Structure 1
């Protein structure tokens, strides 16, 4: 069994943007933890706490910089300096809640997916809007391919749209799930896309071709009542696929064969996000039980 360490935060606000007062208890704010995996897993210290006016639904780090983006139910995307804790800017344009965020590899372009059925692209250096992609349904999840040439969007209407990262045209629409697509993730080389859905399956797709997506695996990942698949992520070497479900379970799969490698009763409530460390030795899981857990996989 993997070793587990649990982080549960009840912070005192370190940073609160001026003219803004939180309308929820302080212990529901997002927190930036100081953790160094190379030094082993120890009790972390709270490095920063940032606040929105309503529920925060998404966070994303810009590659190779101190910029953290957060998306909120108040429709605003905010950028923060993690080194100083200072708010950098607010990106306005969405008309409904921002559900997910993804940075392109260069760290300059940020995609935000919203319940207003749009994905907006932002230049985080100028804080300007680059483009607005109008999707066929509520945009629930968004992910850039590793090379930035594709953008995948999981939709409320059971479909996945793949957009050309340069022309911003729809390359193809993937149909296969039978319910809401909650999560999408590209493999490290960008040829395979994984998706998790309320239909309780994890599916993978060959998206290397620009003309079509070929189905690869359909894993009945989390059977049982209400065991929706809320999150998926590939390991850095592309060999493992992690999935998290509404029943609190996390499972690791062989990404090529779809066979179960390991199952973990990880949380008391639904798992909302899963992420591997860059060396693949740690798995982070985030849950509705207000805990983030780090699991040693090797």
Structure 2
């Protein structure tokens, strides 16, 4: 009975904190005030600081995924129609559109930069496609397909030799980064 009580208290506290955060963000948004930026040595982690509001085009549907570049100067944005855009985090300006989206494409649910080659961005989608983009040339260099799967997560190993995908089919697939072949399926649930 003690565990049950603790769980209820913990859930209530989490809900209260979430409600407070939502109310605070609505207050910031409706007031139109800019929030002062904290100093680097400021350790008030409970404060909300809005650095930039980045307007995006309205025809790309909802945002499903985000990934900062390793330098933090760019932000990859994945949209509900399969579009992928790169935004400058310092100015808020659009750097490039890697894929403009299409009504037959589904959401980009995961984005990842290659850990050893920051010029490569990978986007995985709910349509089972894993697309590799050369950021400098702004082209798609390779697309893999996982038939009958909706990919929800994707990431690289620290050394960049392996990347993993997981999705609706409840399989984790490990791919060799050099051959783009599945090397192992360590966990699969029927």
Q: Same fold (TM over 0.5)?
A: yes
Residue 126 of structure 2 is aligned to residue 115 of structure 1 = yes
* Correspondent of 2:160 among 142, 148, 156: 148
* Correspondent of 2:51 among 42, 47, 51: 47
Residue 95 of structure 2 is aligned to residue 102 of structure 1 = no
Q: Which has the higher helix share?
A: 2
- How far, CA to CA, are the matches of 1:64 and 1:107 in structure 2? 9
Counterpart in the other structure of 1:282: none
Structure 1 residue 173: deviation in Å? 2.2
- How far, CA to CA, are the matches of 2:162 and 2:38 in structure 1? 31
- How far, CA to CA, are the matches of 1:73 and 1:152 in structure 2? 22
- How far, CA to CA, are the matches of 1:112 and 1:40 in structure 2? 34
- How far, CA to CA, are the matches of 2:141 and 2:44 in structure 1? 40
Q: SS in structure 2 opposite 1:46?
A: coil
Instruction: Map Cα deviations across residues 145-200 of structure 1 (whole Å, 9 max, x no partner).
Output: 1111111000211111111112211112234334xxxxxxxxxxxxxxxxxxxxxx
Distance 1:52 1:175, change over 3 A: farther
Checking the alignment, whether the CA contact within 8 Å between 2:157 and 2:163 is kept in structure 1 is yes
Q: SS in structure 2 opposite 1:44?
A: coil
Instruction: Map Cα deviations across residues 245-278 of structure 1 (whole Å, 9 max, x no partner).
Output: xxxxxxxxxxxxxxxxxxxxxxxxxxxxxxxxxx
Checking the alignment, whether the CA contact within 8 Å between 2:72 and 2:89 is kept in structure 1 is no
- How far, CA to CA, are the matches of 1:7 and 1:111 in structure 2? 32
Distance 1:41 1:7, change over 3 A: farther
Counterpart in the other structure of 1:88: 95
- List aligned pairs for 1:137-216, cutoff 5 A: 137-178=149-190
Structure 1 residue 37: deviation in Å? 6.9
Structure 1 residue 35: deviation in Å? 6.5
Structure 1 residue 61: deviation in Å? 0.4
Q: Which has the higher strand share?
A: 1
Q: Which moved more, 1:88-97 or 1:106-115?
A: 88-97
Q: Which runs of 5+ in 2 are unaligned?
A: 1-9, 11-16, 30-36
TM-score by length of 2: 0.71
- How far, CA to CA, are the matches of 2:68 and 2:163 in structure 1? 17
- Alignment RMSD, CA only? 2.6
- How far, CA to CA, are the matches of 1:147 and 1:36 in structure 2? 33
Checking the alignment, whether the CA contact within 8 Å between 2:111 and 2:124 is kept in structure 1 is yes
Counterpart in the other structure of 1:135: 146
Instruction: Map Cα deviations across residues 34-90 of structure 1 (whole Å, 9 max, x no partner).
Output: 676742025232112233532111100010240100111121011000011100111
Distance 1:154 1:52, change over 3 A: farther
Greater gyration radius? 2
